[in-house]
Amino acid sequence: MQNLLGLSDKVQQARQRAPEREANQLSVRLELQADCLAGVWAHHAHRLRQVLEEGDVEEALAAATAIGDDRIQKQAQGYAVPDSFTHGSAAQRVRWFRNGLERGELTVCDTFSAAAL
């Protein structure tokens, strides 16, 4: 979806011009938006076709938690460095996926305008 809308290219261009910390933050916002969009897809896929089975949402949330930058860094080096995150923390990933899943609207996935992630 982000590729189709041209967002991925815009973010990549902005990242190339930005200092590392800001470039990482842009990556986080893009990744969290992807998590939210996955939630929107799940919302509508289930509403229209009942594709979600019991436990599917819990599995998705567990996966989002497991691949949060904080979790990965803590496992690898014993501590997390938030300024180096490129995908978002476990809590952020879960929050944005849930946001899309519960609301089912693309407009709730505007991570680039969000004051807090």
Q: Which of 1, 58, 55 is nearest to 30 (CA)?
A: 1
Average pLDDT, the chain: 97
Phi-psi region of 72 (alpha: psi -120 to 50; beta: other; left: phi over 0): alpha
Q: What is the pLDDT of residue 100?
A: 98
Q: How many CB atoms lie within 10 A of CB 61?
A: 17
Phi (first) and psi of residue 6, to 5 degrees? 80, 5
Identify the pLDDT of residue 41. 97
pLDDT of residue 47: 95
User: Is residue 69 within 8 Å of 89, Cβ to Cβ?
Assistant: yes
Q: Is 116 helix (H, G, I), strand (E, B) or coil?
A: coil
Q: What is the pLDDT of residues 60-113, one digit of tens each?
A: 999 999 999 999 999 999 999 999 999 999 999 999 999 999 999 999 999 999
Give the pLDDT mean for 39-44: 97
Predicted local distance difference test score (pLDDT) of residue 112: 97
**Mean pLDDT (whole number) for 5-23:** 97
